[in-house]
Amino acid sequence: MKVVILDSPAEVARYGADIFQQQLQRKPASVFGLATGSTPVQLYRELIARNRAGNISFRDVRSFNLDEYMDLPPTHPQSYRYFMDSEFFDHIDIDPANTRVPPGDAADPITACAEYEQAIAGAGGIDIQLLGIGRNGHIGFNEPTSCLTSRTRVKTLTRETIADNARFFAEGEHQPHLSVTMGIGTIMEARLVVLLATGASKAAAVKAMVEGPVSAWCPASMLQMHPAAVVIADEDAASHLSDPAFFKHIEAENQAMLARLGRG
């Protein structure tokens, strides 16, 4: 696991956007796994700006989102399909037909989950999987106690996650307690995983992910076993790590090596 600690959320977004830009330059027809939530918004805005400037194109990209609420239509303002359209897809040159979000409103969600897995495999697998991390260590909607080899499935949300997300729903409005999410096993098959973490509220989860044992109680800790996982955190999110200075030293040495090789 590579851990990169930067000064601010803006720097986290730029660093992450650089990774996506490099991937698009190598492979214009990349397959991206995408995430929702407040953390990736700055990254999406950075990618939108680069797309509008002509530096990158998403014309040949296919995307698969991590998760979706159960029983919300795609047009609902709190659905993750609505979020992705309004925050990202509507502002870049991607073909809407090439964007997939788990079917939270499917009549048969169990069958739909299997079909989602088949679609990812049919696309050749995911090149870069973007993640955030929940305060309880969840990735996607893989809550604590999730099976570490799980596949796309229906998942019950914890009370903590429901409480965290309640602010997005009006008083008296239906708030789903179930979701459809890629499994941890699905995430682990991505060729590269990029996890963004910003803010002090994520510090305990980041510590558990990076330094704690691999455990279903912190689903993100499974990324310790991934051969190419990059955690990009700001100072606040990294503040509980035992030795942040060491990770900064590693990154400085890595960047110096890349510069010597002409890859900086």
CATH of the domain at 129: 3.40.50.1360
- Among 127, 138, 142, 226, the one annotated catalytic: 138
Write the CB contacts of 186 (distance below 8 Å, at least 6 apart in sequence). 117, 120, 150, 151, 152
Phi and psi based region of residue 125 (left: phi greater than 0; alpha: psi -120 to 50; beta: remaining): left
Please tell me what DSSP assigns to residue 101.
-
Considering only CA atoms, give the Rg of the chain.
18
* Exposure class string for 178-199: b at 16+ Cβ within 10 A, else e: ebbbbbbbbbbbbbbbbbbbbe
- Among 46, 51, 65, 67, the one annotated catalytic: 67
The domain total for the chain is 1
105 part of the active site: no
Which domain range does residue 245 map to? 2-260
46 part of the active site: no
- Among 105, 117, 143, 234, the one annotated catalytic: 143
CB 186 within 8 A of CB 117: yes
18 part of the active site: no
- Among 127, 136, 142, 226, the one annotated catalytic: 136
236 part of the active site: no
Each of the 264 residues of the chain gets a pLDDT tens digit; together they read 999 999 999 999 999 999 999 999 999 999 999 999 899 999 999 999 999 999 999 999 999 999 999 988 999 999 999 999 999 999 999 999 999 999 888 999 999 999 999 999 999 999 999 999 999 999 999 999 999 999 999 999 888 888 888 888 888 888 899 999 999 999 999 999 999 999 999 999 999 999 999 999 999 999 999 999 999 999 999 999 999 999 999 999 998 998 889 876
